[in-house]
């Protein structure tokens, strides 16, 4: 019976995904990832394993090469940047993700986070706290504020969550810009103006990140990017932490190059004690919660189990390295 390793921490023995795998003749081994694992720990966990449902473990070329029985890996989410997909293909290992599995959850979370920031910034723009404090102190302050209507939201990426933000922004009377690699024929939102990144950064009052982490996007928002932004601009990232150069972000906030940032993701999770983000004012860091709803988790578990069964049978439906695999993806080159 093929042995399946499950490291995603919210998947449990006896749950729907576990029952599905066992129903299809697999033996499940649960080893929840609750923190960083070193190479030796990962290799030990993969001993005798043919398929794996994984979280964010760094499945490097070294780790994969030392797991001779492994034939299929499924990420219980969308991002797969922690897996060396090219090395996996060289070894005949299929790597799949679950595109769109948590799009609704991420979209709702991003909307909520942006709404929270908008409310906080609205309070700041209209000087509500200062006014209340002035009245409490016996005064009657009457300074001018600023309106959100007419401001600009810049979307980096054009996935499901980014598209869900468009009607929200329009409801606030905001203009929407977007920079994306999506083909022009698929850019269907009439209210959105598609521009290059430099123009988006210079024009946006709020910049929201929704792009995948690739070699092209790693460190995309660096010191030069922050220098292009307005000093009153706000950054929101619910995509991947490494899209943002965190030291450059901290420096930009200290130097007044931008006003604030809200990050659901960081380059190293959990956030290290020595992270430059910890000492920077106007940064709020959340614990990677965007896709963490009961509904999204349940869907990821059962869809991941189904994809793993299909992949082990030689018929993966969402293999991200299919174009790199040998003609017989279920046969390991090393035996």
User: Any idea what the CATH number is for the domain that residue 26 is in?
Assistant: 3.40.50.720
One domain, residues 44 and 178 = no
Say if 329 falls within a structural domain.
no
Give the pLDDT mean for 249-265: 93
The yes-or-no verdict on residue 227 having pLDDT over 70 is yes
Minimum mean pLDDT among 119-133, 228-242, 289-303: which range? 119-133
Say if 333 falls within a structural domain.
no
- Please provide the average confidence, as pLDDT, over all residues in the chain: 87
One domain, residues 90 and 135 = no
The yes-or-no verdict on residue 297 having pLDDT over 50 is yes
The yes-or-no verdict on residue 329 having pLDDT over 60 is no
Dihedral of the alpha carbons of 324, 326, 329, 330, in degrees to the nearest 10:
-140
| Whether the Cβ atoms of residue 276 and residue 261 lie closer than 8 Å to each other | no
The yes-or-no verdict on residue 44 having pLDDT over 50 is yes
Q: Which of 71, 240, 246, 257 is labelled catalytic?
A: 240
Tokens of 176: 């929407």
**Integer Cα distance of 38 and 58 in angstroms:** 9
83: DSSP letter: B
pTM of the model: 0.73
Report how many domains make up the chain: 2
SS3 (DSSP) at 330: coil
* 288 is a catalytic site residue: yes
Say if 183 falls within a structural domain.
yes
SS3 (DSSP) at 239: coil
Give the pLDDT mean for 130-145: 77
Q: Which of 47, 108, 199, 269 is labelled catalytic?
A: 269
One domain, residues 204 and 316 = no
CA distances from 306 to 89, 256, 263 (A): 21, 49, 32
Q: Residue 227: which of 183, 273, 258 has the closest Cα? A: 258
**Integer Cα distance of 129 and 200 in angstroms:** 31
One domain, residues 118 and 237 = yes
Q: Which of 66, 127, 146, 288 is labelled catalytic?
A: 288
One domain, residues 182 and 72 = no
256: Cα separation from own chain's centroid: 27
Give the DSSP letter string of 32-52.
Answer: ---S---HHHHHHHTTT-SEE
Range of the domain at 165: 103-285
**Integer Cα distance of 204 and 143 in angstroms:** 25
Could you tell me how many helices (H) and strands (E) the chain has, helices first?
11, 12
Best-predicted range by mean pLDDT among 27-41, 109-123, 132-146? 27-41
| Whether the Cβ atoms of residue 66 and residue 88 lie closer than 8 Å to each other | no
* 56 is a catalytic site residue: no
Give the residue with greater pLDDT, 279 vs 202: 202
Say if 332 falls within a structural domain.
no
Tell me how far apart the terminal alpha carbons of the chain are, to the nearest angstrom. 18
**Integer Cα distance of 248 and 112 in angstroms:** 26
| Whether the Cβ atoms of residue 182 and residue 236 lie closer than 8 Å to each other | no
Give the residue with greater pLDDT, 313 vs 125: 313
The pLDDT confidence band at residue 153, using thresholds 50, 70 and 90, is very high
* 184 is a catalytic site residue: no
Torsion angles phi and psi, residue 201, rounded to 5:
-65, -40
């Amino acid at each position: 019976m093929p042995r399946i390793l499950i490291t995603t921490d919210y998947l449990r023995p006896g749950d729907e995904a576990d029952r599905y795998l066992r129903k299809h003749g697999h033996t499940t081994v649960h080893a929840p990832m609750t923190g960083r694992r070193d190479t030796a720990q990962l290799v030990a966990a993969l001993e005798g394993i043919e398929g794996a449902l994984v979280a964010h473990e760094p499945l490097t070329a070294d780790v994969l090469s030392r797991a001779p029985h492994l034939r299929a890996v499924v990420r219980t989410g969308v991002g797969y940047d922690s897996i060396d997909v090219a090395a996996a293909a060289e070894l005949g290992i299929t790597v799949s993700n679950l595109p769109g599995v948590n799009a609704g959850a991420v979209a709702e979370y991003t909307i909520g986070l942006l709404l929270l920031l908008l409310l906080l910034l609205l309070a700041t723009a209209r000087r509500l706290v200062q006014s209340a404090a002035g009245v409490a102190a016996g005064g009657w302050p009457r300074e001018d504020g600023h309106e959100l209507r007419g401001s600009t939201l810049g979307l980096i990426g054009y996935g499901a969550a980014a598209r869900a933000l468009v009607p929200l922004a329009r409801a606030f009377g905001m203009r929407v810009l977007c920079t994306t690699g999506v083909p022009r024929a698929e850019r269907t939102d009439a209210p959105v103006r598609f521009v290059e990144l430099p123009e988006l950064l210079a024009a946006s009052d709020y910049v929201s990140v929704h792009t995948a982490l690739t070699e092209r996007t790693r460190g995309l928002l660096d010191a030069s990017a922050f220098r292009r932004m307005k000093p009153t601009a706000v950054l929101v990232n619910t995509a991947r932490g490494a899209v943002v150069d965190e030291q450059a972000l901290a420096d930009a906030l200290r130097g007044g190059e931008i006003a604030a940032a809200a990050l659901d993701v960081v380059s190293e999770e959990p956030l290290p004690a020595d992270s430059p983000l910890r000492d920077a004012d106007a940064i709020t860091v959340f614990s990677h919660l965007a896709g963490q709803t009961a509904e999204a988790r349940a869907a990821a578990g059962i869809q991941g189990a189904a994809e793993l069964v299909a992949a082990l049978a030689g018929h993966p439906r969402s293999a991200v390295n299919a174009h790199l695999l040998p003609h017989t993806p279920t046969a390991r080159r090393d035996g």
